[in-house]
Structure 1
């Protein structure tokens, strides 16, 4: 299957299953597109109330039919897919220190439909794995809170997802159980995921405020997800699972288990729910004869039952920054985050045209006392077929910011006040702006040059090796994605 399956509203991402149930299609349970194992730079279909999988096309893979092997697998309900992503990033200005870094992944997934394989209708088994390599450009050279790429992750060879899904009532109800990456379906924006900066996939707020960043790429955790399509334009989803995919302590951040096979249930449970509504904006504004302007609007929330450290006060009620403090933070039971996601086509050249302009907005708000970040907003535009004769190319511009919670800001002030001599700088929200262009070099090879600009790098929490404040940064990058 091609990276160019059904050129959609100019966006991309692994959350194909979000769209698949919008169809309540007959047949197997939600068959994920091959792009489900990649966090960015992968096109998705146009949002639609009756999504259909595009026909499989051997010309969109480097190895074609695999000398007939893919055809044999397909007859038995099996599909094997693989991708390779190579990225190079360079710091042109500001940041910690100039220079270049490399990262990359190889990803593979096997799906098995139980209908052709076992005669059991509407069942789907999925297993996938990742091999992640390279160095962290954000840590080594940039010093930013937001990584320049979704592929900026700890080096490992790991199991990604392993689950079974059963469709019921003509797939209007689908139940999935196993080890799941919840950001494949929840809190995802199709258009935002076209961009390479990691925050446009799984945002900075849950990445910083949940244990190990929560079950998000490249991590998964034991979970059960239920999806219901009661009406054609409406989808309701809910999931419950382990909140800590690596099994480490809260302060362990994104470290811990590197294999993806350690399943810990020691910290708490994560509950997440989302309602999605499909609409044709043109039909609402101009009537049935206008060019269709599809969009999906999503409203959701998550709750984590674990305990979370206070951002300013210690266990005795004093200031964490005070010299007399034990350093043990006050613990709060539970944590929450609410969000709104809008993916909307806002312009189309004519009826049936793929030359479109598409908007996304994603806003989040969470509990303040126990979270480092409690507000986050991203917004952007993507442009399909901007250049004549380039129907598979997309250009995009996007911006994002996450703000520190009030207690986190006051704790930063406390640190400066108790320092000897007093000093320090206030925590400031880090902004990032991205310009990117994805070009289809061949039907199986995408090349995506990228420019990102950061200001308030690191939010005031870091300095350069010489002790100076980090200057605003300019980053240049190149992503090359191959479908095998």
Structure 2
């Protein structure tokens, strides 16, 4: 009996330690921590959808600090310091991408895409003495061609910058802080994917699904208020007690005011981004963020902190959404006799969770670290073609010898079809209707290396592999060969 107890003692200690870790992670907000306030100033990189430098995987409660040394133009001959004194900040970023479909898809070959983003922010306290106010306006110039649409034909866009060509307004809002900025309210035309549903570690990757996921971009009108579109609405961010942050927003659900199914591209319906549509439904979204540092709380001595952010959220859209199996006469959409017009339901929803967690750090305060991200979504399988989605990946910071500011990442993602979409495809195969293909979840794998050439210039070689391209089995009539894509992203901050 004694020997057995001695043998099981280490396992009991490990189990107890794991139990404490889970308790700390779930109830971390109970322990007192340093005072923190909600951020009112967005990060400069918020205007970029992917391939951005990684902040620590925790909410950034402090306003971003202006540092001209991290920008190509520096002080711009003294112009930037003068503007800063008057509460004005102007940020200019340029992204150039070269992509090549090496094999698979429908037409191997190269493409180019790029964007230039300009953001102007006015701090009202510095400008004219109004405390805790911020005016923000940004614009995009999007150019190039789409490798995803023209060569690969995948469901998940190869790049977050793979968007329709246009020169457009991006965001236009006024933010006001209350109670020492613990409460932060924005009103205007806002982009939800700069704050909601986002994983900070996933923002390293270039594939668009690691930003705003396919389960929202395909299931909402015009993809919802996400890059490069914004929508009229209100966003509220509240930090009731560190380390808990609560966010909510209400926006118009259709930023370009078009039908759910349309032969006209969203960017063509609103090429300038100035439509400011208030018709259609309303989109409600809420998210709770919990900052955890379980390692510091459980460790003894000077142990490396392992920060993380755990998020849960949900959205509800009051608009009308198409049934994925039945038409407006009650027949099957997959039948040759169908009129092709789906029956529409009122309302739609989605729930999600996001985990960003540092797993290992060489020493406290050092950049050498390994982090993980996981994001999962779930929604209704009646109204939505895609009912669930999972992305996960690892990032390795500062592990390349002599390259302390570089980050390497590997990530995978997939999206599962809803039950009615699957049944509709089987109906079409059985009855000989249109779209008679065997649906299979598309999977994509990405390997990327963000190279910090200078503080203002990043080069990012990138490799991606797709299978079940287009969400169709390769053996099906409409099947597409597995695709291998190579690319290079260059991001410059002026």
CA deviation after TM superposition for structure 1 residue 417, in Å: 1.9
Q: Tell me which residue corresponds to 2:352.
A: 339
CA distance in 2, matches of 1:351, 1:277: 21
Q: What secondary structure is seen at the aligned counterpart in 1 of 2:217? A: helix
The yes-or-no answer on 1:303 pairing with 2:316 is: yes
Relative distance call for 1:217 and 1:191 in structure 2 (3 A) is: same
Distance 2:59 2:199 in 1: 17
What residue in structure 2 maps to residue 324 of structure 1? 337
> Could you list the per-position Cα deviations for residues 286-315 of structure 1 after superposition, in whole angstroms to 9, with x for gaps in the alignment?
356421000000000000000101000012
Matched, 1:266 2:290: no
TM-score by length of 1: 0.91
- What is the CA–CA distance in structure 2 between the aligned matches of 1:101 and 1:461, rounded to whole Å? 26
Aligned residues: 458
In structure 2, the residue matched to 1:234 is 244
Given that residues 320 and 346 in structure 2 are in contact (C-alpha distance below 8 angstroms), is that contact kept between their aligned partners in structure 1? yes
Q: 1:233 to 1:56 in 2, by over 3 A?
A: same
User: Unpaired runs of 5+ in structure 2?
Assistant: 1-33
Instruction: Measure how far apart 1:440 and its partner are.
Output: 1.0
Q: Using the alignment, how far apart are the partners of 1:450 and 1:417 within structure 2?
A: 41
C-alpha separation in 2, matches of 1:305 and 1:172: 30
How far apart are the structure 2 equivalents of 1:193 and 1:23? 27
Q: Per-residue displacement from partner, 1:254-309 (whole Å, max 9, x unpaired)?
A: 34211110022221000000000001031344356421000000000000000101
Contact 1:300–1:339 (8 Å) recurs in 2? yes
Listed one character per residue, the Cα deviations across residues 220-244 of structure 1 (whole Å, up to 9, x for unaligned) are 0001011111001000111001000
SS at match of 1:291: coil
What RMSD, in angstroms, separates the aligned Cα atoms of the two structures? Answer: 2.0
Are residue 428 (structure 1) and residue 429 (structure 2) matched? no
Which residue of 343, 350, 374 corresponds with 2:363? 350
Per the alignment, residue 5 of structure 2 pairs with none
Larger Cα-atom Rg: 2
Asked whether the equivalents of residues 187 and 233 of structure 2 are also in contact (C-alpha less than 8 Å), the reply is yes
Cα separation, 2, equivalents of 1:55 and 1:407: 49
Give CA-to-partner distance per residue, 1:362-408, whole Å, 9 cap, x none.
Answer: 00000110001001000000000011221110000000000111110
Alignment match, 2:52: 42
Secondary structure of the corresponding residue to residue 323 of structure 1? coil
Note closer, same or farther for the CA distance 1:257–1:243 as it changes in structure 2 (3 Å cut).
same
Judged with a 3 Å threshold, the aligned counterparts in structure 2 of structure 1 residues 288 and 343 are, in CA distance, closer, same or farther, namely farther
> Which residue does 2:466 correspond to in 1?
454
- Do residues 224 (structure 1) and 237 (structure 2) align? no
- 1:324: how far off? 2.4
1:11 match:
none
TM-score of the superposed pair, with normalisation by structure 2: 0.89
2:426 to 391, 413, 429: 413
- 453, 463, 466: which one pairs with 1:441? 453
* Alignment CA distance shift 1:303-1:50 (3 Å): closer
- With 136-145 and 279-288 compared, the bigger mean Cα shift is at 279-288
Alignment of 1:93-108 (within 5 A): 93-108=103-118
After superposition, what is the alpha-carbon deviation per residue over 1:168-200, rounded to whole angstroms, capped at 9, x for unaligned? 000111111000001111000001111000000
Question: 2-side partners of 1:323 and 1:304: how far apart?
Answer: 31
Q: Are the equivalent residues in 2 in contact too, given 1:23–1:51 (CA < 8 A)?
A: no
Question: Please, which moves more after superposition, 124-133 or 244-253?
Answer: 244-253
- For 1:382, which of 395, 398, 404 is the aligned residue? 395
1:344/1:358 contact within 8 Å kept: yes
